[in-house]
Structure 1
Amino acid sequence: MPFELALRVTEILLALAMIQQSLEHLATERRSRWIFLARTGLCLLLLLSGIQPAVTLVPLLATSLLLLHRYQGPYNGGSDKMTLLILTCLTVSRLAPERYAELAFAYLAAQLLLSYFTSGWIKIINPDWRSGAALRDVFRFSAYPVSESLRGWADRPRVLQAAGWAVMLLELAFPLSLLHPLTLMAALACTAAFHFSNACFFGLNRFFWIWIAAYPSILWLQGRLIG
């Protein structure tokens, strides 16, 4: 994927993901509603290809920093951190000279790769994940399942153990997907399906959209490395 195309697709996907995040807050948040209204407007501008992206990326980054202060950190965990990471890398890529622009975008791709590998490593050294107990506890005791009927999955230990191992192996093997364009496409399809299942089972919809927004960076990096 060419560099400029990868940047533009990332901007579009990021804008859509941030609009979704902002609309969630507009329905419930009153104190900081103006920030989310501003973010929504800026994201709509970012979607318009005729407008210089840096003009909207810089104030979008500023709103993210304001929200870090407002909530005393990335209150929504990994999805907020990934949003800030993508915003920062895109802003640098649009403002910096070409050499540093590519380095910033490559850093985003590297962080995406590490997010999967590190997650898989943390899981596989945990005996509860290897035995399937971790997933059983999530379904049985946590507040994550989006409906009470899903708690019945806790009574399927072999299925959950197999699912846990599938996730761990996918995450640990993800760096190897860079060896060929087809393996990378297959790996991204599998990880997207993994995030989608988390959204369906546990309501983690933000992770699906914001992680997808980072995928163009690794598609570009893979082409850059083997091209």
Structure 2
Amino acid sequence: MTLDFAVRATEILLGLAFLQQSIEYLLSNRRLHLLFLARVGMCLLLISGFQTGWVLVGLAVLSLGMLYRFDGPYNGGSDRMSLLVLACLLLVHFLPESHWQELAFGYLAVQLVLSYFISGWVKIVNPAWRNGRALQDVFLYSAYPVSESLRAFAARPTLLFGASWMVMLFELIFPFSLLTQPSLIAGLLIAALFHFLNACFFGLNRFFWIWLAAYPSIIWLQGRLFGGSALLG
């Protein structure tokens, strides 16, 4: 995958992620509708490929305005990943040399890998995750919109114990998926399924779309590192 193709794929996926976030907000809240309508328009321009560099600047300005208005990220981790993807794309567009552009895009891929690995590490050092209790509590007490039928999973500790270890081990070994392209594709498919299930079970739909937007960067980085040339070469 070439850098240009990966960047363009990231722009389209980011545009779709921001579009979903903005429409979701407009449907649930009438405040600040002009801000989010402007964001919808910029997302459509970004997806279409019109003046993408300056559209990204506009989206960055709107994002800073949203940070000020909501006193920080509106939706926690998904908004932080959104800002990271947006910032890295801006650097790719406006850094003067291809070497620095590659480093900026590679940084996004490294942060994506770390997001999984660190999440796995935080879980595995927590006794509540190692014995399955943390996942059990998610179904029992979580404020996420879990239906009553799904809460029944809390009564199946053996299943949740196994699921906890599957999640932790996958997140911890995810960096090794970079060794080959087939293993990376398999790792990303599993990760996407994980985010999809979280969206279905807990309503964490924003995480699915914005993490997906960062996937082209890691596919490009794997090819750059192991496809015959080094990132710093």
Q: When the two structures are superposed, what TM-score results if normalisation uses the length of structure 1?
A: 0.98
The answer to whether the Cα contact below 8 Å between 1:146 and 1:200 also exists between their aligned partners in 2 is no
The answer to whether the Cα contact below 8 Å between 1:139 and 1:145 also exists between their aligned partners in 2 is no
Equivalents in 2 of 1:173, 1:33: separation in Å? 43
Deviating beyond 3 angstroms after TM superposition, the runs of 4 or more aligned structure 1 residues are none
RMSD, matched Cα: 0.9
SS of 2:73 mapped into structure 1? coil
What is the 5 A alignment of 1:77-156?
Answer: 77-97=76-96, 98-156=98-156
Shift of 1:145: 4.2
What is the 5 A alignment of 1:168-187?
Answer: 168-187=168-187
Equivalents in 2 of 1:4, 1:187: separation in Å? 23
The answer as to 2:37 corresponding to 1:40 is no
Equivalents in 2 of 1:214, 1:171: separation in Å? 16
Structure 1 gaps of 5+ residues are none
Residue 201 (structure 1) aligns with? 201
Equivalents in 1 of 2:217, 2:186: separation in Å? 16
Q: When the two structures are superposed, what TM-score results if normalisation uses the length of structure 2?
A: 0.95
Residue 211 (structure 1) aligns with? 211
Structure 2 gaps of 5+ residues are 228-233
The answer to whether the Cα contact below 8 Å between 1:124 and 1:168 also exists between their aligned partners in 2 is yes
Q: Would you say how many aligned residue pairs link Structure 1 and Structure 2?
A: 226
The answer to whether the Cα contact below 8 Å between 1:46 and 1:53 also exists between their aligned partners in 2 is yes
Equivalents in 1 of 2:135, 2:198: separation in Å? 12
Shift of 1:144: 1.5
SS of 2:28 mapped into structure 1? coil
| Letter of the structure 2 residue corresponding to residue 191 of structure 1 | A
SS of 1:27 mapped into structure 2? helix
The Cα offsets for residues 11-52 of structure 1, whole Å up to 9 and x where unpaired, read as 000100100000011112333111111110000001113x22
Equivalents in 2 of 1:13, 1:65: separation in Å? 20
What is the 5 A alignment of 1:153-172?
Answer: 153-172=153-172
Report percent identity of matched pairs.
61
The Cα offsets for residues 61-103 of structure 1, whole Å up to 9 and x where unpaired, read as 1101100000000131110000010001001101112111111
What is the 5 A alignment of 1:7-18?
Answer: 7-18=7-18
What is the 5 A alignment of 1:15-30?
Answer: 15-30=15-30
The answer to whether the Cα contact below 8 Å between 2:139 and 2:146 also exists between their aligned partners in 1 is no
| Letter of the structure 1 residue corresponding to residue 201 of structure 2 | F
Residue 63 (structure 2) aligns with? 64
The answer to whether the Cα contact below 8 Å between 2:73 and 2:80 also exists between their aligned partners in 1 is yes
The answer to whether the Cα contact below 8 Å between 1:120 and 1:171 also exists between their aligned partners in 2 is yes
